[in-house]
Amino acid sequence: MRKQSGLFRAAVILATATATFALGNARTWAQGATPAPFSKVTVSDDVAKRTLMKAVINADTARAIVNACVDWQKAQPGNQSIVIFVLSPTGDIIDSHMMDGVLPIGAETGLMKAKTALYARASSASVAQRFNTVDGRLIRLDLGRQEGLSYYFVPGGLPIIVENQLIGAVGVGGGNADEQCAYQALVKVLGPQPPLVQAAPPAAAPASGQPQQR
């Protein structure tokens, strides 16, 4: 009887410890209103000594952003499939995930959005607003391609900035709320983020007989 009581007590302790660990692990990335510290989300000092780069998002943080975006997307009505890429400041893929059903074009555009945010140090949505004419975009389509970067004028790419340092970029493609998916993931993992660029109102059609502005 005493032996059974001891086994029961041990089982309770083990279950409590497991639950506490799981809860603590879940809270690791529940930043809320608290910004994540730079040292927590970048590579270790030992890694930085080897690579000579400290301001680089670490693999655990990149995976947490991927998971947070996928979880957010799954909670949306319709559960549309997305693909997400997290890049280092040099453009290397740190982590990525493609949900079932993403078309090849979605994967390509998701990566291009991340590269745009990395190249421009700004969201791909703000890049689209800045260069909103056909001529303005045409002369920039090939910029950065030799360096493995790009300009892609569609929302869904965001730079990853912590303590005023660029540590990577994220790009989401294939869905119908790609920028929100990326944004909500960054908020969950890194804490408060700058507000997203508001969509510009459509340009008014020129009056009859009036020349169009270029």
Superfamily, domain 30-190? Haem-degrading domain (3.30.450.150)
Residues in the chain where the model's pLDDT stays below 70: 1-32, 134-136, 138-139, 144, 148-149, 199-214
Q: Give the pLDDT confidence of 204-214 residue by residue, as tens digits.
A: 444 445 443 33
Q: Give the pLDDT confidence of 73-119 residue by residue, as tens digits.
A: 999 998 789 999 999 999 999 999 999 999 999 999 999 999 999 99
Bridge partners, 85 (sequence order)? 96, 171
CB–CB of 38/44 below 8 Å? no
Alpha carbon distance 76, 57 (integer Å): 27
CB–CB of 157/171 below 8 Å? yes
As a three-state string, the secondary structure of 32-67 is: CCCCCCHHHHECCHHHHHHHCCCCCECHHHHHHHHH
